[in-house]
Amino acid sequence: MQKASRLKRELQMLSTEPPPGITCWQTEERIDDLRAQIVGGTGTPYEGGLFSLEINVPDRYPFEPPKMRFLTPIYHPNIDNSGRICHDALKLPPKGAWRPSLNISTVLTSIQLLMTEPNPDDPLMADISSEFKYNKQLFTEKARKWTQEHAIQKNMGVLKGNKDNTPDSKASSRKREAFEVYQEAVEPPKKTCV
C-alpha cells in the first residue's frame, strides 16, 4: 500500500514538475513498471541524444532502490552493454547510498549527472574507463558516434508515433518539433536544381 501511494505521488510530481531534460511515465496499467527518457547534456558527447531507461520498482520500495537500466545503448564507463548502471544511489548500504528519502526523480537526476561527469574510479566497463582516463579524445569520439548511431535514431523511432515509448501525444508532439528543429540545424533543407 505504501509503495502504490508513494509511486502515485512521485509520478504526479514527475508529470507536473519534471527535472529539466527528464521524462518518466508508467507503462500499461502496472504502476511498478516505468519508462524514462533523459536528454543528453549540452557540451557532452551525448548532446542531441534521447536515452530511454527501464525502471522496475520492487515490492519493498522505498526501502529498496528501484532497478534501472538503459534501453538505449550508451558508451559510458559506468554503464555496461546490457544497460546496467553502476551508481551508488541504486544500491543498498553499506556498498550503496540508497535511502528511503530518495525518490525516482532524484535518482534520474543523478544518472543524468553521471552522464555528464562519468566516474572512472568505479567503472562497470574497465576498458572504457581506461580510455576516459588516458585518452579522453578517443572516448569522446566513440561516445559521440554511439549517440549518433543509437540515441538519435531511437529519437526518430519515438517521433514516428511508437506509442509504447511515449507518455502522451503532447509529449510526442513536443519531441517531434524539437527533433525537426534539430534536424534543420544539422541538415539544412536540400535545394533542388531546376
pLDDT per residue as tens digits for the range 98-133: 999 999 999 999 999 999 999 999 999 999 999 999
| Integer angstrom CA distances of residue 93 from 65, 88, 96, 140 | 11, 9, 4, 33
Name the 3-class secondary structure at 191. coil
Strands 30-39 and 67-70 come out as unpaired
The amino acid occupying position 189 is P
Helix and strand tally (H, E) in the chain?
Answer: 6, 4
Check residues 147 and 162 and name the one with the higher pLDDT. Answer: 147
Model pLDDT, residue 1: 66
Q: What is the mean pLDDT of the chain?
A: 84
Of 28-32, 50-54, 77-81, 136-140, where does mean pLDDT reach its minimum?
28-32
Model pLDDT, residue 148: 95
pLDDT per residue as tens digits for the range 165-191: 444 444 444 444 444 444 444 444 433
- 64, 98 Cβ separation under 8 angstroms: yes
Model pLDDT, residue 157: 47
Model pLDDT, residue 153: 57
Model pLDDT, residue 185: 42
Model pLDDT, residue 30: 85
Q: Match 535545394 to its residue by C-alpha cell.
A: 191
In 20-162, DSSP assigns E strands to: 22-27, 30-39, 50-56, 67-70
CA distance 17 to 1: 24
Instruction: Please tell me the chain's helix, strand, coil percentages from 3-state DSSP, rounded to the nearest 5.
Output: 40, 15, 40
Does pTM top 0.75 for this prediction?
yes
Residues acting as catalytic residues = 86
Residue among 177, 122, 147 nearest 41 (CA): 147
Model pLDDT, residue 31: 87
Q: At what angle do helices 169-186 and 152-159 cross, to 10 degrees?
A: 130
Model pLDDT, residue 28: 82
Model pLDDT, residue 2: 82
Name the 3-class secondary structure at 69. strand
At residue 29 the predicted structure's pLDDT band, cuts being 50, 70 and 90, is confident
Q: Is the pLDDT confidence value at 38 over 90?
A: yes
The mean pLDDT of 84-99, rounded to a whole number, is 96
The mean pLDDT of 57-85, rounded to a whole number, is 97
